Amino acid sequence: MNELQRLVNGEKLTQEEMTTVAYSLFDESTTESEIAAVLTALKVRGESVEEITAIVDVLREKAMPIQKQLSNVMDNCGTGGDGAHTFNISTTSAFVLAGAGVKMAKHGNRSVSSRTGSADVLEELGVALDFSSDEVEHLIETNGIAFLFAPHVHHQLKPIMKVRQALNVPTIFNLIGPLTNPVALDTQFLGVYRRDMLMKMAAVLQRLGRKRSVVVNGAGYTDEATLAGENHFVLLEEGELIPFTLSPEDVGLNTYDNDSIVGGDAKENANILLDVLNGERGAYYETTLFNAGIGLFAANMTNSIREGVEIAKETIDSGRAKAKLDTLITYSQNRKRKEIS
């Protein structure tokens, strides 16, 4: 693999060259040592926009196929990796966004940096983790939200995951998870745990064809927007990458430190999610409003994030956000009964 030698030498590859490397990662003849060398070389030198885009394109091509052309679909999955152990902010916010009329293809996994990942909390609530392509399409069209469990939709990644676990250091795969949603997304609200990657990740979204997106690194270097201070963003709009910052007071919210939004195990986080969707006030509720408001702005459904926060509040208090979760749970339960019978 000539490209591998060039990577090891610290050279950057073009998108086309990196595509060749990405395909080779799934080739049975490629050894675990070669996979480890690719991941390590990219980690040491730093991944370019072209290299990230190439790997994402190949992963999406090899993922569970979503055949139907769904329009105006969004994801708000973050990278994880911030070590903040917060409650499931993006998952809770996803139901608010769906309740406000955004079609959500919520991509997620089990725990990465927190005690409980999106899959863990949704499983605790009774949501299935193995929806088929047809079911994903049906749920997005009828309920406005479906959950795509990363290991289920990316089943060919097992050999690479084995190498990642053996390396035990962050690699390019710690960044690209939210980019590999098999649904063709129009918009995205992406949280990243590294502030130095904000502009680069926004540039990748641009190459992936997103019409509009917002990338955030929150106060305290979280992969979500928080109420602890100044949050850093990049807006992708009409091909332009526009950096900006925002604090909670800018959108009419209170300040809370990040310790106030720490989560727990799957049961605890499920209860937090339910409390928020039932309108219980406090740090969890306002953090959800903030992130849902940003998501509505990213989806171009509001002219400002402050306006998005107000719509998010009304969506929770009206019960529309909770109804989206209830429908997803009921669908999962009915499906399980059919399997048993």
Annotated binding site for Mg(2+): 90, 223-224
| Binding residue ranges | 78, 81-82, 86, 88-91, 106-114, 118, 164, 223-224
| Binding residue ranges for anthranilate | 78, 109, 164
Write out the two tokens for 155.
Answer: 């089943």
* Residue 297: CB atoms within 10 Å: 25
Beta bridge partners of 74: 104, 187
Nearest to 100 by CA among 320, 276, 268: 320
Distance CA 218, CA 30 (A): 38
Spatial contact of 208 and 179, defined as CB atoms under 8 Å apart: yes
In b/e form, how buried is each residue of 23-59, taking b as 16+ CB within 10 angstroms?
A: ebbeeeebeeebbbbbbbbbeeeebbbbbbbbbbbbb
In b/e form, how buried is each residue of 252-274, taking b as 16+ CB within 10 angstroms?
A: ebeebebebbbbeebebbbbbbe
| Binding residue ranges for 5-phospho-alpha-D-ribose 1-diphosphate | 78, 81-82, 86, 88-91, 106-114, 118
